[in-house]
Structure 1
Amino acid sequence: MADKWNAGLRSVPVAGSRTDAAIDQGLRAYMLKVYNLMAAGLAITGASAYGVYSLATTSDPANAVGQIRGVMVTQFGAAIYDSPLKWVLMFAPLAMVFFLAARINRMSTQAAQATFWAYAAMVGLSLSTIFLVYTQQSITQVFFITAASFGALSLFGYTTKRDLSGMGSFLIMGVFGIVIAMIVNIFLQSSALAFAVSVIGVLVFAGLTAYDTQRIKEMYWEGDDTLVAGRKAIMGALSLYLNFINMFMFLLQLFGNRNS
């Protein structure tokens, strides 16, 4: 393949230049679609999180059925934050992301995209609890810190000539280590371990942002049909979305100001 490509460049330089330009244009369009899908997912998550929090809490004692962390909650809030339903809301997004990863090759682009939107909304429902714990100002500040960091890391992954594939297995092992440590800390309730997990989590998902960006870029092939290209863009957006959300949550645990 490479030899044929090089031969074509030598024999027909003008046509080769046009082909290179077409590939570059196609790659830019593909990456733009990935980022747009990811940004839309984040917007859905943010709207879902704040919308659910608004419905779940109240400032009117007449509408309150109780308090959680000093915040008055409605009947809806008590159901999703202080009943067994909270475990369903916690693990449902995890089940859906595995479902999407397993089924995407048999889905239409529209179905895969709709599943991604549904997943983003469910993550927002689960993340609505951060408004009970942290001040809205610090949530906003950490979001913009995350966005700036993510942008710089993704740009590095896109532009670097260095092969980042060797980082992949190491970073995935780091993710598994973080999950195990978080489960252990549910029982230990160690603030030192929680701090260490947050620091390592930021570093791991920062590395994954650069690694996944390069991997998504290399997944592009100009010969893909619309269906395959659409599936690749959705899975790429999902990968970057997960990196952003996890980096945001770990940074929030490190720098977020808690409600008094």
Structure 2
Amino acid sequence: MYSGVAYQGSSTRDRTATLFGQTMGLVAMTAAFFAAGAYAGRHLSEGAVIVAWIAAFVALLIMNFVARRSSPAAVVLLAIFGVLMGVASAPTLYWYASTNPQILWQAGGATALFIGVFGSIGYLTRRDLSAVYRIAFFALIALLIFGIVLIFVRIPHGSLIYAILGLVVFAGLTMGDFQRLRRSRGLDSAPLLAASIFLDVLNVFWFFLRIFSGSRN
């Protein structure tokens, strides 16, 4: 009996480790396709960028439907999503790279540290973070509304406030996503988990970019 329990525990740990490796490998793949898209789209017009944003959103929606049916198809869609997000982000990244590339390095380093800390907390903690994740999700909706308000209403230090609040929200989302990664059992969930973690990384990067660029003004 004890050997059976030990075997089941070992099997669960091996499956979790395999899922972690696959998911993070897919995150790295998505980041590589993002970089390729950002390079290819660095001179695109504003209209093309908007189309890329919409297409990326559509690709993500389709991936949510096909992920459980076909993992290879989900991986392909994840790669397409990465390219489209890179294209959509290209003009902004190119502008920073041309004017002050040091800010990109600072934002990238801060993002790596942020994801490393809160990802580790989410992955290692035994406390159920589902409530934190739900609160962060609804806070994200409120943050989006606040961002729309900032477009039309000038608020002192509004951009900095928005970025700091965004980091707080994505601290919760990052912890929740990494806990989902540890608790998931099916290997077919890897593409969707990778998409969620990649979006965490990307949004955190944008928030730090906003903070560091604001500090130079």
Q: Offset at 1:238?
A: 0.8
Partner of 2:93: 131
Partner of 2:134: 169
Partner of 1:203: 168
Distance in 1 separating the partners of 2:138 and 2:158: 18
Partner of 2:75: 113
Distance in 1 separating the partners of 2:85 and 2:77: 12
Alignment check: 8 A CA contact 2:16 2:184 kept: no
Alignment check: 8 A CA contact 2:67 2:191 kept: no
1:35 aligns with 2:35: no
1:48 aligns with 2:10: no
Moved more, 181-190 or 32-41: 181-190
Alignment check: 8 A CA contact 2:129 2:179 kept: yes
Task: Give the TM-score taking structure 1 as reference length.
Answer: 0.75
Alignment check: 8 A CA contact 1:205 1:247 kept: yes
Check 1:189–1:43 CA distance in 2 against 1; reply closer, same or farther (3 A cut): farther
Partner of 1:3: none
CA RMSD of aligned residues (A): 2.1
Point out where structure 1 has 5 or more consecutive residues left out of the alignment.
Answer: 1-11, 57-76
- Which has the larger helix fraction? 2
Partner of 1:252: 209
Partner of 1:99: 62
Task: Give the TM-score taking structure 2 as reference length.
Answer: 0.89
Alignment of 1:171-190 (within 5 A): 171-190=136-155
1:233 aligns with 2:190: yes
Partner of 2:7: 18
Aligned-pair identity in percent equals 23
Q: How many residues align?
A: 214
Q: Offset at 1:125?
A: 0.5
Partner of 2:109: 144
1:213 aligns with 2:178: yes
- The structure that has the greater radius of gyration is 1
Point out where structure 2 has 5 or more consecutive residues left out of the alignment.
Answer: none
The C-alpha deviation readout for 1:58-93, integer Å capped at 9, x for no partner, is xxxxxxxxxxxxxxxxxxx3xx23xx3332233322
Check 1:181–1:165 CA distance in 2 against 1; reply closer, same or farther (3 A cut): same
Moved more, 235-244 or 141-150: 141-150
